[in-house]
Amino acid sequence: MMIHRSLIAHAALVSFAMITASQARAADADTTLNGTVKDMAGKPVGHAAVVLQDAHGAAAGHTTTDADGHFELLHVATGTYAVTVTAPGFAAASQIATTAPARPTSVAVVLNKGDTLDVQVNAKRLAEARNGLLPETGSSIYRITQADIAAMPQGQNTPLNQVLLQAPGVADDSYGQLHVRGDHADLQYRINGILIPEPISGFGQSLDTRIIEQVNLLTGALPAEYGYRTAGIVDIRTKSGDLGNGGSIDVYGGSHQTIQTSADVYGSKGDFSYFFSGSLGENNLGIEAPTASPSPIHDHTRQGNAFGYMSYIINPLTRVSVMFGTTANQFQIPNTPGLTPNFMLAGVPSFDSANLNETQSELNNFAVVALQGTNGGALDYQVALFTRYTRTQFNPDPVGDLIFNGVASQDFHSDTANGLQADTTYRLNDHHTLRAGVLFQQEHATFWDNVSVFPADANGNQTSDVPFTLSDSSSKTGYLYSAYIQDEWKINSRLTLNYGLRYDGMDEYVQANQLSPRIGAVFKLTPTTTFHAGYARYFTPPSFELVSSSTISRFNGTTNQSEVTQNDPVQPERADYFDLGVTQQIGSDLTLGLDAYYKKAHNLLDLGQFGAALIYTPFNYQYGRVYGVEFTANYKHENVSAYLNLAYSRAMGKNVNSAQFNFGADELAFISNNWVFLDHDQRVTASFGGAYNWHRTTFTMDGTAGSGLRNGFANTGKMPFYAQVNLAVIEHFDLPVVGKMDGRVVVINAFGRTYALRDGSGIGVFAPQYGPYRAFYAGLTKYF
């Protein structure tokens, strides 16, 4: 701090000398110099030391401020002086003052909080070091900022999956699923550079949009740092309290008896900063409805989540941070009225399918402790310990499910993951930046189910109307481990090459490993034209928490017996991935992009919902191929912004070679001899949006469209085209007493088009699901 003050004083004296070089000082007159000293908030700073210095650095007077921050120096000779002010807890400040004979001179000095200034500088330095651990060379990157989210029709109440749908190549599916570039799920979530193990697939979102400062979606041929899940890297940088104190309270609700309340608070005190957020809500449209009715039957949901981030700067080059999050969701499974019973249950002559009572509960908790730092020059590092617990429980209707499905299955899945992640960056010289790291993760999964079934003959025909129950439980511990090393080589000002090796291993239901080369290049052809290209070898383990070792044969002779008994273990996917793209800046307002990709896979992974329980099951196609092309356009000029993303994709597989018992014999035989489309294949997808600011009012819209997901026997059919447009008007208030507020009115699916995402047919598809109906919402956000 003393060095900092000395530099400021020296700078003030240099400035003073330059000013006075052409002035002659009059020594035959004096005057009075007075002034005020305040902080950045306008509050007076008392007992501050005020020193007056002449051009030679000699003291010409000194005093202190009173309780009101006022000071006065008498008998000051006319001329030009440097007024330097220091006070405990503040950075030193200087002002130049020129006095005149017989006329008092006044100055106003503003002091910055010394600790706040230092914390902000240190936090920024460490944030830049942390971001430097995450290379992007050669991949395709789509960035969505906090301001972009605020301009979406639902703002921070937009579910995270709907935010990501505005990126190119992201296709919508039922139950909140996302498919990026023709892959089923396979998304990796990172928060502040730290991998968060995925939760068990469910209906709700495990992360809240309001924690986001910026989210980047990385796709394509990824650098060696990224493994495990590679269809897309959802890189979230959270809000923090590094830059000041504040918060907000939000109330949002409307159609389908929707009500949601949310709040966040952030700030800093000395070297400690924090950000906390939470949300609680309920509505009657928790899951996509199985019918075209605008009022689904039995579709209530309650959802809540919380997130916390705390950071402490140990010294200017090191900090420790803690993150934690929890999400708890409960869903009713919506009903289809008028179904025809398929089985007879003793003592129950009839049952209305509108009265079914299936439910599912989901819980996801995670916590991270990270040590992150830099030596201020060549070396950056981050070491993190993480833990995650997730569970899902499906509760059947014990009577209705037997009558309509011949099986009522209560299923429970839980998974605990603990691990360590370490990443380092070393800048060898101006041309080479080396990165290396390791990841180790242990998982323990637990499964149990109670399944009520009827006796049946060899053909699956019911032989008794009296059910019986079979119970099963199992658990498994598995391990993932990986290491990587890579070099970012800046060959010249126009060409950068990123090449490296990654090793991945797994010891779960199968043991496997792979050494994967990665290479990516960015070439700046002109100041406005940039090409990127890359190749990556990928190794993708199946979702450990979804692979169950339950015995299939225990259902022989029941209405839940499998037509096919083969159950080969699920294998990791191995793939070669190629990516090529170009971005073009047109003027300062418009950016265009074009990107093409091709993936050739062995043991292509996919997921299906095969049983009565709404929990997904992984399986492999022996061969897989995925390819496509994406176009992006982003425009921003003054108070107008707009974007358009178009994508073409094909995703195909051949020969199911694991978990075969989930398929019928005829479908399995067809797939073994024919290339089939994956159930999430969609030829064309589009996302678009824009906003216009007019004084304190923002008019905004966004939308999505798709050519339709697959359906029918072995996915040989296709669902119809669909489109959805959302609109909103946002008013920004700044009221005298209340302060800053935002109010918004939102229309979802503004044109009221009813469309089906699924019709209940296709590989691993259990029931029909319709897109959201036209709905009206309103929200109010208060900032403080």
pLDDT of residue 18 exceeding 80, the answer is: no
What's residue 25's pLDDT? 41
Instruction: Tell me the per-residue pLDDT of 641-677, one tens digit each, with 9 for 90 and over.
Output: 999 999 999 999 999 999 898 898 999 999 999 999 9
Contact 169, 191 (CB under 8 A): no
Q: CB under 8 Å, gap of 24 or more: what pairs does 734-742 form?
A: 734/696, 738/782, 739/782, 739/783, 739/784, 740/782, 740/783, 741/780, 741/781, 741/782, 741/783, 742/155, 742/779, 742/780, 742/781, 742/783
The answer to whether residue 682 scores a pLDDT higher than 60 is: yes
Distance CA 602, CA 597 (A): 17
The fraction of the chain above a pLDDT of 70, given in percent, is 92
Spatial separation of the C-alpha atoms in residues 561 and 179, rounded to whole Å: 31
Cβ-based neighbour number of residue 696 at 10 Å: 11
Tokens of 505: 């291993």
Taken in order 681, 331, 702, 165, the sign of the CA dihedral is negative
3-state secondary structure of 162: helix
Domain made up of 140-783: CATH architecture: Beta Barrel (2.40)
Contact between 233 and 136 (Cβ < 8 Å):
no
**pLDDT confidence of 15, banded at 50, 70, 90?**
very low
Using 50, 70 and 90 to split pLDDT, how confident is the model at 123?
A: low
| Nearest by Cα to 169 from 597, 585, 499 | 597
pLDDT of 765: 85
pLDDT tens column, 696-713: 999 999 999 999 999 999
Place of tokens 């305040």: 38
Across 119-123, 202-206, 292-296, 687-691, the highest mean pLDDT is recorded for 687-691
Q: Each residue of 37-50: b (16+ CB within 10 Å) or e?
A: bbbeeeeebeebbb
Nearest partner of 439 among 510, 505, 389, 366, judged by Cα: 505
User: What are the helix and strand counts (H, E) for the chain?
Assistant: 6, 41
**Residue 575 dihedral angles phi and psi, to the nearest 5°:** -145, 150
The residue-averaged pLDDT of 541-564 equals 82
456-479 tens-digit pLDDT? 998 889 999 999 999 988 899 999
DSSP state of 197: P
The domain segmentation of the chain, as residue ranges, is 2-112, 140-783
Tell me what the mean pLDDT of segment 676-684 comes to: 94
Q: What is the 3-state secondary structure (H, E, C) of 1-41?
A: CHHHHHHHHHHHHHHHHHHHCCCCCCCCCEEEEEEEEEECC
Report residue 26's pLDDT band, with 50, 70 and 90 as the boundaries.
very low
Three-class secondary structure of residue 546 per DSSP: helix
Instruction: Out of 33-47, 218-232, 584-598, pick the least confident.
Output: 33-47
φ, ψ at 161 (rounded to 5°): -65, -35
The C-alpha angle 468, 474, 477, rounded to 5 degrees, equals: 165
Encoded amino acid at 161, one letter: N
Distance CA 128, CA 126 (A): 5
CB 679 within 8 A of CB 731: no
2-112 CATH fold? Immunoglobulin-like (2.60.40)
Confirm if 578 and 585 have CB atoms less than 8 A apart. Answer: no
Residue from 737, 708, 706 nearest 724 by CA: 706
d(CA 313, CA 393): 41
pTM: predicted TM-score of the whole model, two decimal places: 0.82
CA separation, residue 469 to residues 451, 457, 462, 549 (Å): 5, 17, 15, 19
Q: Would you say residue 399 has pLDDT above 60?
A: yes
> Exposure pattern of 541-573 as b/e (b: 16+ CB <10 Å)?
bbbbbbbbeeebeebeebbbbbebeebeebbbb
- Render 291-343 in DSSP notation, one character per residue: SS-SS-BS--EEEEEEEEEEEEEEETTEEEEEEEEEEEEEEEPPB-TTPPP-S
pLDDT at residue 129 in the model: 67
3: pLDDT strictly greater than 50 = no
DSSP string for residues in 69-137: SEEEEEEEESEEEEEEEE-TTB--EEEEEEEBTTB-EEEEEEE-BHHHHHHHHHHHHHHHHHHTTS--T
Instruction: Report the pLDDT averaged over residues 309-314.
Output: 93
Q: Rounded mean pLDDT of 74-99?
A: 82
Query: How high does pLDDT run on average in the chain?
Result: 89
**688 phi/psi in degrees, rounded to 5:** -155, 160
Q: Please, what's the largest Cα pairwise distance for the chain?
A: 121
pLDDT value, residue 472: 87
**Six-digit token string for 51:** 């020193």
Residue 114 makes CB contacts below 8 A (sequence gap 6+) with: 1, 89, 90, 91
| DSSP secondary structure letters along 301-314 | EEEEEEEEEEEEEE
Q: How far apart are CA 214 and CA 235, in angstroms?
A: 8
Instruction: For residue 532, give the amino acid letter.
Output: H
Under 8 Å CB-to-CB from 376, ≥6 apart: which residues? 125, 316, 317
Give the whole-angstrom CA distance, residue 425 versus residue 433. Answer: 7
Between 88 and 336, the more confident residue is 336
- Name the pLDDT band for 119 (thresholds 50, 70, 90): low
- For β-strands 717-718 and 710-711, DSSP reports them as antiparallel
Mean pLDDT is lowest, of 63-67, 263-267, 349-353, 610-614, for 610-614
Q: Which residue, among 604, 624, 482, has the nearest Cα to 542 in the 3D structure?
A: 604
Report d(CA 648, CA 628) in Å as an integer.
5
294, pLDDT greater than 70: yes
